[in-house]
A and B are shown apart, each in its own frame.
Chain A
Amino acid sequence: MIDILRARIAKGILSQEIPLADGDGLGQELRTVIAKRFGRSFTIREVDSGSCGACESEIISANNPIYDLQRFGVNFTASPRHADAMLVTGALSKNMVLALQRTYAAMPDPKWVITLGDCAFDCGKFKGSYYLAGPISKVLPVDLHIPGCPPEPIEIIKHLLVFLRQLK
């Protein structure tokens, strides 16, 4: 225990301030927007509909101590019942259509769908495959797309902020 505490102190605070072009910190603004609009926390249910795993890896990275998305009030939840938004990755394999629709149906209103990664937007490199029902916009109403293959954590955070800001 004492070792962990010592290591923790030695390591210090790693979280980076995420800068915005026009002066203010990106994170601080995100924090304010979420506090106002969503009662302090914006909760996301992530669904992989047929991605290669790199997008998931970057979403997990956005939650690591360096980017620490959670400090701004963005949480990832296990249950769609607790979710404000669904974050969908992948080109939508036919096997996932039903599961995706059910997850969406299980979410309470108001709800948003955010797609992440090039595959989710237009099937990306998998365009033309026999086993795709995608892109996601064919099946669900998409409110925001975060481009990239995969998008970097900082891009994910920036796009979320821009999106939440215009919801006001």
Chain B
Amino acid sequence: MERKKNIFTDKLADDFQELYPDEAYMRVRPEKFRDTCLGLHKLLLSPVMTMFACDRRRQNNTFSVTCAFLSRADKKWIMVVTDVPAQSPAFVSLTKDIFSAHLFERQIREMFGLEPIGNPDIRALHLHEEVWPKGFYPLRKDFKPGNAASGPKDEYKFSRVQGEGVFEVPVGPVHAGIISPGHFRFSVAGEPIINLEIRLGFVHRGVEKLMEGKTIPDALALSECVSGDASFGHSLAFVQAAEKISGIIVPLRAQGLRAIFLELERMYNHAAGLGGMAMDVGFSFPAALAAVIKENILQLNKQLTASRYLKGVNIVGGVSRDIGESSASLLRERLKGIEKDFLRLRDILESSTSFMERVDTTGYLRRNTAYDLGVIGLAGRSSGIEIDLRKFFGDIYKPAGFNMAIGRSGDVLARLNVRLFEFEESLRLIRYFVGHLAAGACVATQKIVPGYGLGYAEAWRGPVLYWLDIAEDGTIERCKITDPSFRGWQGLSYAVLGDIIPDFPLCNKSFDFSYAGNDL
């Protein structure tokens, strides 16, 4: 850290502040923003983990733009902050140097009206051009929803592939299955896909704006509805941000319980994903078996917490549900049955040559592509991006001896194997945590204090980040939500290249990204 501090504080940063043990802020002048970010990107080998703007015109007549990197060696988040004057709302784009900033810049542009100078693609992401009139920026503090009813609208321009024999296959937004909406446009020459453009935003609900002005408990309830299948991961990231800002020390017992619930969420989703992959190649028995595993875990969740999706479990300072002696033995008992079903599922999948043929070498996402796009989490690990927040943060995982799942090849098989490995690891972790639950209370009662900071959790898809700014009156001033799906979807559009359209559902399911978490 010392070395980095010297390089950047001397040459670039105007101010370097280690606000929390795991989070440092570096304030730079606008002209140095790009160089500082690029330097950190090269030094830390970290993609842009999140990037967002804040409207601070009421305080000091500027906007601010923040770009976050992860320092794995120091176990620290490094946030680079710069001001953007309100009179000339524009900042220097990072996209050409750090591609993982690309989508964030587009998001900042459509939500705040800050122009990323030099970004070659400034099409809207969530506020569709056909629906939303130009010149209305919802995350600005002076935005009034009533005004945005009328105004000139535009049309989204798909990138076109032209040439003899090239044709387009549009899919969506309403898909064949029971799934969220999104538009996929394939350009195909003969059988192989030569381009896939993914247009999302169909389930945009304006969550970040809704967060503003809410009290912490209300906002917590909303965070559980950002991405329904990762409600615990999202609410965990949210409460951890609030706890960090307020200096609340979460009791060890609550930390252990949170770890258990987080792994339960991972397990039911991995079971659903494994079943989905089998279903997408028409292999119905393992799909049904996986559905049974998922249902068993959901029923277990309900017995432990009264909610199948673990809603209402996280509260600021700890958890609302304890696992007592009887619940612990119930949990152990149920895990035995779940493990038995899981091992059978794994055997069936791995012993089917035709299934393995389908998944092997399908949907390659190469490491370099994943790194450039900033694909992290489950999909990133399958392509060799070694980022798992449980490994770097959270002292609770150290005594348990956490093993990170890593795939190298980046194909559907790698993602399948990572999921199988993680399911087993989750079983092991839950058993460890249940056996080693610390005694004591499972909630700490302390007051919320104003301030800002980053909360994070390794949900089943990957790192979920909540950057919170709590105002003087204890309500939320700004909340930036980053789901791993946000950059991940791009990875899918590269992974399918060269494959055929019938392999697309399989590739899609192997990544298993969230529409709702992306669209917010």
- Asked whether, in the complex, the Cβ of A95 is within 8 Å of the Cβ of B202, the reply is yes
- Asked whether, in the complex, the Cβ of B288 is within 8 Å of the Cβ of A130, the reply is no
Contact mask A113-132 → B, CB, 8 Å, 1/0? 00000010000111011111
- Asked whether, in the complex, the Cβ of B344 is within 8 Å of the Cβ of A56, the reply is no
| B515: nearest chain-A partner, CB-CB | A53
Stretch at the interface among B1-9, B92-100, B170-178, B316-324: B170-178
- Asked whether, in the complex, the Cβ of B177 is within 8 Å of the Cβ of A78, the reply is yes
- Asked whether, in the complex, the Cβ of A48 is within 8 Å of the Cβ of B180, the reply is yes
- Asked whether, in the complex, the Cβ of B228 is within 8 Å of the Cβ of A55, the reply is yes
Q: Does B384 sit within 8 A of A, measured CB to CB? A: no
Which residues does chain B contribute within 8 Å of A52, judged by CB atoms? 225-228, 231, 516
Contact mask B272-314 → A, CB, 8 Å, 1/0? 1000000000000100110110110010000000001101000
Of B173, B206, B347, which is within 8 A of A96 by CB?
Answer: B173
Of A14, A51, A150, which is within 8 A of B292 by CB?
Answer: A14
Q: Does A64 sit within 8 A of B, measured CB to CB? A: yes
Which residues does chain B contribute within 8 Å of A54, judged by CB atoms? 225, 228-229, 231, 309
Q: Does A94 sit within 8 A of B, measured CB to CB? A: yes
Residues from 22 to 79 in A contacting B, C-beta threshold 8 Å: 46-61, 63-67, 76, 78-79
- Asked whether, in the complex, the Cβ of A130 is within 8 Å of the Cβ of B308, the reply is no
Per DSSP, chain A at the interface is mixed
Docked CA distance A54–B173 (Å): 18
- Asked whether, in the complex, the Cβ of A48 is within 8 Å of the Cβ of B209, the reply is no
Which residues does chain A contribute within 8 Å of B132, judged by CB atoms? 94, 131
Q: Does A4 sit within 8 A of B, measured CB to CB? A: yes
- Asked whether, in the complex, the Cβ of B294 is within 8 Å of the Cβ of A11, the reply is no
Docked CA distance A97–B348 (Å): 43
Smallest beta-carbon distance B389→chain A, Å: 22
Smallest beta-carbon distance A109→chain B, Å: 20
- Asked whether, in the complex, the Cβ of A56 is within 8 Å of the Cβ of B179, the reply is yes
Q: Does B498 sit within 8 A of A, measured CB to CB? A: no
- Asked whether, in the complex, the Cβ of B138 is within 8 Å of the Cβ of A61, the reply is no
Residues from 173 to 225 in B contacting A, C-beta threshold 8 Å: 173-174, 176-181, 201-207, 209-210, 221-222, 225
4 interchain residue pairs of minimum CB distance: A54-B228, A52-B228, A78-B176, A64-B291
| 18 A-B pairs whose Cβ atoms sit less than 8 Å apart in the complex | A11-B289, A11-B292, A48-B515, A52-B228, A53-B514, A54-B225, A54-B309, A56-B178, A57-B228, A57-B272, A61-B298, A64-B288, A66-B292, A95-B202, A99-B202, A119-B225, A130-B138, A131-B132
